[in-house]
Copies of this chain bind each other. A is one copy, B any other.
Amino acid sequence: MTREKIYLFDTTLRDGQQTPGIDFSVEDKIAIAAMLDDFGFDYVEGGYPGANPTDTAFFTQKRTNRASFVAFGMTKRAGISTSNDPGLAQLLQAKSDAVCFVAKSWDYHVKVALGCSNEENLESIRESVEAAIAAGKTAMVDCEHFFDGYKANPDYAVACAKTAYEAGARWVVLCDTNGGTQPPEVGAIVAAVIAAGVPGSALGIHAHNDTGQAVANSLAAIEAGARQIQGTLNGIGERCGNANLVTLIPTLCLKETYAERFETAIDRETLAGLTRLSHAFDELLNRSPEHQAPYVGASAFATKAGIHASALLKDPRTYEHVDPASVGNFRKVMVSDQGGKANFINELKRRGIAVEKDDPRLDRLISIVKEREATGYAYEGADASFELLAHRTLGTVPDFFSIDGFRVMVERRFDANGHLKTVSEAVVKLVIDGASVMSVAEGDGPVNALDIALRKDLGKYQAEIGDLELTDYKVRILNGGTEAITRVLIESGDATGVRWWTVGVSENIIDASFQALMDSIVYKLMKNRQLAGKIAAE
């Protein structure tokens, strides 16, 4: 059975640019267009040449190799001819393969926003499409406010779509501009448009996420016969965002109900690069990837529940809706309050720590973890502290050094020039091989000062921690109020490129930070030894 093709239209660079807080430079756009082109989208919409200097500069050359490169713009203004509309001229001169016109299809907006007659608007659609085709471009029309317009005046909305199609538009895209339409309404209206004479093979859907259903609305349109989906990477876009193509693509490719009837330009091998694509895009936006994002989030295949975790390990397929590897993601089974013994053993095994099911030290470890988690520790976010605790409880980590005490001072005072300044100083007393070592340091804040002092002189271990670096620091106040407990999470890294998280908990933030810093150093020393052991064994 031949499967029908669903065309993927990416508008990250155009509608995605409407996201509050997101502004692309020309360089950003070039980089993103290359990512989209490489991945295999059918259409890459680059922006609105003529609307702003960035988009105009971006369209001075074609920016894709495989994908059709699309310029967005308005239909010609009413009352003038296509050849006399400077905006249209600029749009048609842009270096694009296709032009996507935005056209009003709600009669109310034709009157209020355009201030022209319904017939004049149809004429603008018709003549703009014809002008684009005459200029050698593929023409498309985004019917703005289509679903709200259809509810207000179905005949006129359909007339807009039909006019675009009959003038030669390759795609007529039905837009839920305000984002409030529900999936059953989308399905019914798309079906009505097809019944009125615009074939589904020429219909696209452009959905927004204002009721959290941009993905469902896109699929409802496909079910009803539309064959093109407009959306963005990671669902960025105005207000609540556009349809998330990163969610839609694996659903179309992997869910039987769609995959047996439809195909897209994304093959299995490309699909395995989806998580990387999504994270690379976030990287470019300088924001953390959303942990709970469908398919590609760090938590998308993470299991915390004890009752599920043990069964999951027996047969992952029955606990995962798709194979994480199919989208380039990973399974993650977490240690937590809720975890069972099997979960625990497995977590230890994954870290190269072998322990027998009936080893009493295992029960001790489990009870220590539970007890500590009850007081605020969160080992699921602090792998290294967990590993360290396990090694300590199982007796497989040496006592490298011990702590005799520390003192941290933060002082705000007037300097010699009469300006208030804040100074942070830390003193640390360690015992290494029976000898006492005392170090002092200043820092940007008390934790920074403590970190510097702690790593200033580790005696015979000093050379080993030269490449240790604190890369992130998080604080969370538990319980709140005056009986607050502070949880500190610290991320560290070293020259091998490995990163690890450690945790500290105390009613005193400095104490909590100190615990996490200590764990990080001891973990690093332990890690060096494991590495050395591996190298020696080879």
Contact = CB atoms under 8 A, between A and B. Distances in A.
A416 interface: no
A8 interface: no
B508 A239 contact: no
A469 B481 CA distance: 9
Interface in A251-268: 251, 255, 257-258
A212 B446 contact: no
A477 B478 contact: no
Contact of A215 (B54, B211, B244, B409): B211
Interface string A331-351: 000101110000000000000
Interface residues of A, number: 131
B294 A240 contact: yes
Given A223-B184, A239-B300, A474 B477 contact: yes
A153 interface: no
Given A293-B240, A301-B239, A311-B113, A255 B182 contact: yes
A211 B337 contact: no
Contacts of A258: 182
A408 interface: yes
A112 B216 contact: no
Contact of A477 (B286, B302, B378): B286
Assembly of this chain: how many copies? Answer: 2
A511 B422 contact: yes
Interface stretch (A17-25, A62-70, A120-128, A458-466): A17-25
B337 A23 contact: yes
A209 interface: yes
Interface in A216-266: 216, 219-220, 223, 235, 238-241, 244, 247, 250-251, 255, 257-258
A178 interface: yes
22 contacts: A20-B291, A25-B478, A27-B479, A54-B374, A109-B311, A112-B315, A178-B320, A179-B321, A181-B321, A182-B219, A184-B223, A209-B292, A210-B295, A239-B297, A239-B299, A240-B294, A405-B412, A407-B410, A410-B511, A445-B507, A470-B481, A471-B481
